[in-house]
Amino acid sequence: MQRILSFRPAFVAARPTRRAVVAISFSVSPPPNPTNTTTFSQYCRSFTMSQKPQEPTITRVSDLPTQDAKWVTLQKVEYVDQVGKPRVWEVASRKTRSKTGAGIDAVAMGNILLHPSKPPSTLIVIQYRPPHDAYTIEWPAGLIDANETPEEAAVREFKEETGYECKVLDISPVQAADPGLSSANMVMAMVEVNLKEGDEEPEQRLEDGEHIQRVVVPLSELYEKLVEYSKRERHIVAAKLFHFAAGMEFARNQKYGIWPEDDKK
């Protein structure tokens, strides 16, 4: 039997003009989809917006003329390869690239949640993505606004999607987001959230049309939880998040001697 609670998390955005009402439900077994919530362990809490009336459904897919596209455009790139042969490549490009911040499209927030009595954790988000017609499991992320630095965008987007204030620890070099298909690029901001005993969960600040579920997972359990999610119907894990988790998992388990302490074990 489930109970609706006022949730005070053990630990642990879109614009701040709209606030979401959050209802928390706990169940013993994992939910079939993000309309329910559950705990992965006593340290793993999740909560989701209560006003999601139904599962999203694609009603039509049609060709989009480039001139009618608001966010992306399709380009034909003609180039000469390394052996002098002319070639052609089809490229999807964003129309919204920031003119500042070294021309960076987006920022994702790899995050560490620190709590005095709980293990180091990370906050992941689950949201429906029409290109895959599935719920994706990701780190919080968003586009960089005009005249905004990657650091500023990271703090703003993390606050909007999760409700939490964060401190930026590091900004990565510019990365290719999907190099075989798109010119889109991004940076990874590693951020830290410091929590206290008894901290209440903050409200998300989501735009109309955003339905984002937040899930806190201990870092030591991240890889196995992502594998678990990937086995659920209509769920898919974002590559960047899975690569991070898999790198940690295999470096820890295979003892390749990457760190000096590995040789002592």
How many Å is the maximal CA-CA distance in the chain?
Answer: 68
Q: Report how far residue 262's alpha carbon sits from residue 264's, in angstroms, rounded to the nearest whole number.
A: 5
Which backbone phi and psi does 154 adopt, to 5 degrees?
-60, -45
Q: Report how far residue 142's alpha carbon sits from residue 158's, in angstroms, rounded to the nearest whole number.
A: 9
Residues across the chain = 265
C-alpha triplet 98, 202, 211: angle, nearest 5° = 60
Could you give the angle at which helices 239-254 and 222-230 cross, rounded to 10 degrees?
130
Read off the pLDDT of residues 13-63 as tens digits, 9 standing for 90 and up: 333 333 333 333 333 334 444 443 334 444 344 444 445 568 998 999 999
Report percent pLDDT > 70 for the chain.
Answer: 75
Q: Report how far residue 188's alpha carbon sits from residue 138's, in angstroms, rounded to the nearest whole number.
A: 13
Read off the pLDDT of residues 105-153 as tens digits, 9 standing for 90 and up: 999 999 999 999 999 999 999 999 999 999 999 999 999 988 889 999 9
Instruction: Give the pLDDT confidence score for residue 179 in this predicted structure.
Output: 94
Question: Mapping DSSP to helix (H, G, I), strand (E, B) and coil, where does residue 246 land?
Answer: helix
Read off the pLDDT of residues 5-25 as tens digits, 9 standing for 90 and up: 333 333 333 333 333 333 333
Read off the pLDDT of residues 164-189 as tens digits, 9 standing for 90 and up: 999 999 999 999 999 999 999 999 99
Q: Parallel, antiparallel, or unpaired: how do β-strands 4-5 and 118-129 relate? A: unpaired
- In the predicted structure, residue 233 carries a pLDDT above the cut 50: yes
Domains and CATH numbers, the chain: 4-52+70-264 (3.90.79.10)
Q: Parallel, antiparallel, or unpaired: how do β-strands 134-138 and 235-237 relate? A: parallel
If you average pLDDT over residues 85-98, what whole number do you get?
91
